[in-house]
Chain A
Amino acid sequence: MASDNGKTTRRAVLKGVGAGGLVGMAGCLGVEGGGEGGTEGSGEGTGTTGGSTSGGGSPDSIVFGQPAAQTGQWDFLQPGVSQATDAALQNINDAGGPLDTEVELVRRDTGVNPQEARTVVTQLVENDGASAILGLFSSEINPLWDFLQEQRTPVVTPWPGSTFLDTRGGDKGTPENLDDDEWVWRTVVGDTVHTAGNAKRTLDEGYETIGVINGNTEGERSYVEGFLAPYEAEGGSVAQRVEVGLGESSYQSALERLFGADFDAFLVSLPQESAITMLSDWADGGYGGQPVLSDTLGTQAVIDQVGDALNGAWAASPGQSGPNYDTFEQAFQSAGDAEVNAWSPPAWDAMHVVALAIERAGEATPEAIERNLGPVSGGEGTAVSTFAEGKEALANGEEVNFEGAATPTNFTRHGNVFGSVTISVAKNGEFTEAEVIPAEDVRGFVEEGEY
């Protein structure tokens, strides 16, 4: 796969430089005449670089770009997403690829640093000729918001839960009109929504006062805020909240502080590694109380490391209850030995929905993809679970509705998705599914138009 990447990258670069050079020479200087003249010119330049010249038939290549966390603080999350992406790529190309063209994926490291991410996105779009971006974290998207809008390339990302995106992104319900589009789509359920499912469960179980311990990063804070809004609105109260840094060697003082207050259950929102350290400290200290875990902690590793003390703890996960999770899981397992994490199924969904958008559009330009993301993900069309099914249905002249692995992948007007929330409870060394809060119920937690 690596050498494949290499070949196309080089080709795309050469072509990009060639095409760009021509455009540059042809129209380097101009006077703004009809207002739109300049913009039009550069827009076309981008299109050509996109390696997907219009004019019917198959383009010679279709490139997707994936900014990735291959180094830096979050590098341990990338293998699960890379493998899901590669599995989806395999699946799509085995079915002939969109417009009968093989899709190439170029993955570049950002270290989850907004500065690096800016360079990487520019390079992916302009030099690698990517017609869609399939990555980026909250902490990259938020500071780069204006920049991403200027790229006019759809960003379909499995990562961000941030409430920042609740009312930002998507096509605003008007697929054909690009003027109001905000170009960022996420295939992972936003924190506002699934945390509400967790809050509901906590109240239903009779825990009306909780303690909160969370990391000081955007994802963790956003999760807690998403949880607390409905929880407090429904009468719950917070006895104590403690924020901690990540990767500390011990969280015992923080726990001592937390458990100085009086409550029955406590919410944990930390990345897995730090959470394991913290929960081990908690188990050793015998503090008791009902642990309520954030979505990313419902993994085998957490139970294996923390042990029996965790019995009865539950995690509410949004990402693993899409209608076609099984299809994904099978493909994922045969693609390598990385562990599935909360962002793996959304990564699978992101690849599929973009490929289907190209198939429906009949061309692989960023604009065409942006126009078709809404139509292929929702609506009344034939429900499809794989690219092959979608390609066939589209060839028959039908509309399609992609049903994903993480969620049914029905984008809202702000480019967000809803899904059912699965509550899994730790018992005898593994997490078992205890309850599924259906998507419709979850949807009720958020106001129409606010997500």
Chain B
Amino acid sequence: MGLLQNVIFGLVTGSYIAVAAIGFTLVYGIVNMINFAYGEYLTVGAFVGLLTAGTLPVPLPVAVLVAMVGGGVASLVLARLFFTPINHTGPVPMLLTSIGLGIALRNLIRLVAGRNARYFDTETATFRLTGVPDVSVGPFDLLGDFFVTSEHLVVVGCAVGVFLALHGLLTRTDVGIAMRAMGDDEDLARVRGVDTQRIRDSVWVLAGVLAGLAGVLVAIQTNVSAGTGYSHILQILAAAILGGAGSPYGAIAGSYIIGLVLSLSTAFLPGGMAELSSAMAFLILVVVLLVKPSGLAAREVREA
């Protein structure tokens, strides 16, 4: 088995998760809540994308943009309706509200869209690299022949694009700098004249846009149904927490760790345990919380 090939798979999986995990973790950092309904934001994005691609004569990239806008709008509306009014109550009530909202949204989508899975119509090309030498260590090959598909490249490309855009946003724009300031110390930011509500709204929109993109990416690889996003929420959450909640750069690192763990443990765990790969991801999360409770990026989460 080629290690390199599995690393590629892990990086692709990590890229899906990363796009979503950034949105998740930004909300965590600025609004100070774990949003359990975030998986449904992905689902909404996937449906908007599918509907656009299916009804309008536009190419897929345009449909993706529409899905991102749709995700952003949905996120802002939901935040205004459900989260902003209880902003002051603290993390636990907000977490529980998001659980309730998630149940409601998921079933509402099922009610409206029905139960059948739908598919994006895409073509995939495969690029193969042969003649790569095996570098054997015991039973494993470190290199070996490998392939990538156009889908892989699109996903990783989107993720890298998001990372660059995000970095630019956070370091070069007023809104981004204000976001970082608020993430560090909200009171201080308010004293310095930051309109905290406006920043919160921008974060909600940004999170929704990213969820829309992630939703379509996941949907192209799998399908669109009421459970599309929900089935990935735990991985997104694990990646965000692993990276140190609130830190977008940490979330990126956390996502790739989760992606690699999923892929490598599926490939290399002893027989009969391969399906435990998702449990492995959680095990890593628990271990990281114990060893370095602040996550990969430093922020204290331990109280005593």
Contact = CB atoms under 8 A, between A and B. Distances in A.
A contacts B: CB pair < 8 Å: yes
Interface of A: 71, 73, 75-76, 78-79, 216, 241-245, 247-250, 252-254, 256-257, 260, 272-273, 276-277, 280, 284-286, 304-305, 339
B9 A245 contact: no
Interface string B1-40: 1100110011011001000000000000000000000000
A253 B264 contact: yes
Select the residue from A242, A250, A272, A286 with max chain B CB neighbours within 10 A. Answer: A250
Contact of B278 (A242, A245, A284, A339): A245
B250 to A, nearest CB: 22
Given A253-B9, A253-B263, A284-B149, A244 B275 contact: yes
Given A243-B274, A249-B13, A277-B221, A254 B115 contact: no
Select the residue from B151, B268, B274 with max chain A CB neighbours within 10 A. Answer: B274
Contacts of A71: 107, 110
Main secondary structure of the interface of B (DSSP, over half): helix
A333 B27 CA distance: 48
A252 B9 contact: yes
Nearest to B272: A243
B262 A273 contact: no
Contacts of A256: 1-2, 5-6, 9, 267
B223 A273 contact: yes
Q: Which 9 A-B pairs have the closest CB atoms?
A: A253-B266, A243-B275, A253-B263, A247-B231, A252-B9, A260-B1, A75-B115, A284-B149, A253-B267
B151 A284 contact: yes
B247 interface: no
Select the residue from B110, B114, B268, B275 with max chain A CB neighbours within 10 A. Answer: B275
B222 A253 contact: no
A249 B1 CA distance: 21
Interface string B273-286: 01101100000000
Contacts of A78: 115
B77 interface: no
Given A250-B221, A253-B263, A286 B147 contact: yes
27 contacts: A71-B110, A75-B226, A76-B117, A78-B115, A216-B275, A242-B274, A247-B222, A247-B231, A248-B278, A249-B221, A249-B232, A250-B12, A252-B263, A253-B264, A253-B277, A254-B274, A257-B267, A260-B1, A277-B221, A277-B223, A280-B124, A284-B151, A285-B126, A286-B126, A286-B147, A304-B119, A339-B116
A177 B116 CA distance: 44
B221 A253 contact: no
Given A75-B115, A257-B274, A305-B119, A247 B227 contact: yes
Interface string B122-158: 0010101000000000000000000101010000000
A298 B227 CA distance: 23
Given A252-B9, A285-B147, 20 more contacts: A76-B117, A76-B225, A79-B115, A241-B271, A245-B278, A247-B227, A249-B13, A253-B264, A254-B267, A256-B2, A257-B268, A276-B223, A277-B221, A284-B124, A284-B126, A284-B151, A285-B126, A286-B126, A286-B147, A339-B116
B115 A249 contact: no
Interface of B: 1-2, 5-6, 9-10, 12-13, 16, 107, 110, 114-117, 119, 124, 126, 128, 147, 149, 151, 218, 221-223, 225-227, 231-232, 262-264, 266-268, 271-272, 274-275, 277-278
A244 B221 contact: no
Contacts of A249: 13, 16, 218, 221-222, 232
Given A249-B218, A252-B9, A276-B223, A76 B116 contact: yes
Select the residue from A75, A249, A277, A304 with max chain B CB neighbours within 10 A. Answer: A249
A257 B266 contact: yes
Contact of B1 (A79, A257, A305): A257
B12 A245 contact: no
Nearest to B275: A243
A221 to B, nearest CB: 11
Nearest to A260: B1
Select the residue from A71, A78, A243, A256 with max chain B CB neighbours within 10 A. Answer: A256
A242 B1 CA distance: 14
Contacts of B116: 76, 79, 339
Contacts of B110: 71, 75
A285 B149 CA distance: 8
A272 B119 CA distance: 13
Contact of A253 (B10, B117, B149): B10
A276 B220 CA distance: 12
A249 B217 CA distance: 10
A262 to B, nearest CB: 13
Contacts of B115: 75-76, 78-79
Select the residue from B107, B117, B222, B226 with max chain A CB neighbours within 10 A. Answer: B222
Contacts of B226: 75
B35 to A, nearest CB: 20
Contacts of B124: 280, 284
A252 B16 CA distance: 14
B222 A273 contact: yes
A305 B231 CA distance: 21
A286 B262 CA distance: 22
A243 B225 CA distance: 23
